[in-house]
Structure 1
Amino acid sequence: MTDQPPPYDTPYGQPPGTPPPSGYGQPPGYGQPPPGYGPPPGGAQPPGGGQPPPYDPRYGYGPPGVPYGPGQPVAGEDTTWAMMAYLGTLLLGFLAPLIIYFVKKRESAFSRFHAAQALNYQLTILIHLVVLCAAFIPLAIVFDNPVWLVPLILLYVVDGLGQWVFLILGAVKAGKGAYYRFPAFFCLPMIK
């Protein structure tokens, strides 16, 4: 037996003279970058040139930056579906974009965006109409004066003109493969 305590660099429970493991007191790999981070050995370029993996449309709304930044090129069929969401609204009301939204929502982020835009437009117009009817029709009945219905006529004219302008503008932009947002007063973003 010796009267000397074991040296400080020897781990507890190890015989004296055993070299300490690297990173003594830390979990294995502490202070090292995780695998896949950092330069590859030998200075070689990582596969794909350091670019992120390609986007797979089955898993979400779209690649980063959509609808505001550059995204993937839009195929001809997607632009046709997106245009039909707007033009179908002029012919069939909310049914055309609703059908296109449910059919294409997992297949094409571009078609889904434009179908949702057309649906949001229809829902916003419905909200405008319901709110103004609930406010002004009772006033017209109580005061027995049809002057209170003038705001409804004005809303009908504004939304009627807006429908032709915005839906045709949206169809043109969709045909060119571009994302276009309607003004928030005419199109509240409710459906994504």
Structure 2
Amino acid sequence: MTDHPPPHPDQPPPYSGPYGQGPYGQPPYGHAPGGQPPYGHAPGGQPPYGQPPYGPPPGGPYDPRWGYGPPPPQNHPGEETTWAVFAYVGNLLIGFLPALIIYFVKKNTSPFTRFHAAQSMNHTLTLLIHLLVVVAVCVPPAIIFDTPAFLILLLLPYLELLIAGWVFLILGAVKSGKGQYYRFPTFFCFRMIR
């Protein structure tokens, strides 16, 4: 006697042969009978009809015709992205000094961190230059004509510092955290430090 119940009359009997082998002398799944090549393949071991041979092309590491996609982007270690994010966040919280320290510590060891620390400093210096130019243009006429109406133009660099300063530094921190290079627009970030 066996421990198994008898099969239902509508079901086929269980197959006790090796896994992947067809019952009753049939070839394994996916193979054609009589030693022919597998279904969908051309005779002689060639790839399937209408498809290119597999693998990279002989001429180089990547060709979009072969379908395995472009090479992966250069990944930066977690330490590099952390220092790059700190260059922007430190600039938001404290000012110019954290980006300057990170730049001098990492400038010879990490080009990624160096780029982002330099960009953070360049952004701050650019906004300072914008402020000084507007002050140099507005203050002398205000003093000469003894009217503070000329000082209203100081509102422009203040708004620029308030809005563009925060927006670009946060955007730079996010992009550097993802390991990406992101260049600020030149008007807001002159490339003085490289």
- 1:93-132 equivalences in 2 (<5 Å): 93-132=95-134
Larger Cα-atom Rg: 2
The residue type paired with residue 168 of structure 1 is I
Alpha-carbon distance, 1:72 to partner: 3.5
Alpha-carbon distance, 1:135 to partner: 1.0
**In 2, Cα distance between equivalents of 1:162 and 1:169:** 10
The size of the alignment, in residue pairs, is 126
- 1:2-81 equivalences in 2 (<5 Å): 72-81=74-83
Alpha-carbon distance, 1:50 to partner: 8.3
Alpha-carbon distance, 1:157 to partner: 1.1
Q: CA RMSD in A?
A: 1.7
Alpha-carbon distance, 1:130 to partner: 1.1
1:189 counterpart residue number: 191
Percent identity over paired residues: 60
The residue type paired with residue 80 of structure 2 is D
Aligned residues of 2:172 and 2:182 also touching (Cα < 8 A): yes
Aligned residues of 2:96 and 2:124 also touching (Cα < 8 A): yes
SS in 2 for 1:113: helix
Using structure 2 for the length normalisation, give the TM-score.
Answer: 0.62
- 1:90-169 equivalences in 2 (<5 Å): 90-169=92-171
1:85 counterpart residue number: 87
SS in 2 for 1:190: coil
Consecutive aligned runs of 4 or more in structure 1 exceeding 4 Å deviation = none
Alpha-carbon distance, 1:144 to partner: 1.1
**In 1, Cα distance between equivalents of 2:93 and 2:135:** 25
Q: Which structure exhibits the higher relative contact order, with contacts defined as CA atoms closer than 8 Å and separated by 6 or more residues? A: 1
Alpha-carbon distance, 1:132 to partner: 1.0
**In 2, Cα distance between equivalents of 1:100 and 1:76:** 15
2:22 counterpart residue number: none
